[in-house]
Amino acid sequence: MDVMERIKQQVEENPVVIFMKGTPQFPQCGFSSRAAEALKACGEQFAYVNVLADMEIFENLPRFADWPTFPQLYVNGELVGGCDITLELFQKGELQKMVKDAVTAGSNAG
């Protein structure tokens, strides 16, 4: 499958997915680590893609949503943003709601 198709599939099949350096358990970048921590603190399940383990995605993700850096958080198929946006939304309490709504809607649909 074409790499852009693979990214699209990840984004569409998971209500919440983060593309990050490393994994939520073993993040390999401070920005990815903080964003994953905020997601974990939302208390819902989320998917992740370790971009360091998939060179094709690493190289092509920036042009998928025209966003130049990692991590990238997608909720309901839409780019939310990178680390700074994720944290700012978390601090405002908006991320928790966004994630919960997406996961709830996803489980109702599935």
Partner 1 sequence: MSVQAGIEEKLTQQIHPAHLEVINESSNHNVPPGSESHFKVIIVSDEFKGKNLLSRHRLVNKVLADELQNKIHALALHTYTEQEWYDQNEYAPESPPCLGGSKAQ
Which of 14, 30, 35 is CA-nearest to residue 82? 35
Site for partner 1 in 22-81 (CB under 8 A): 22, 27-34, 51-52, 55, 58, 66-69, 79-81
Q: Should residue 107 be labelled a site residue for partner 1 when binding is judged by CB under 8 A?
A: no
Q: Should residue 88 be labelled a site residue for partner 1 when binding is judged by CB under 8 A?
A: yes
Cα–Cα distance, 9 to 29 (Å, whole number): 25
Question: Both tokens of residue 64?
Answer: 């998928």
Count of residues of this chain found to bind partner 1 when the rule CB under 8 A is applied: 28
Interface positions with partner 1 (CB under 8 A): 21-22, 27-34, 51-52, 55, 58, 66-69, 79-85, 87-89
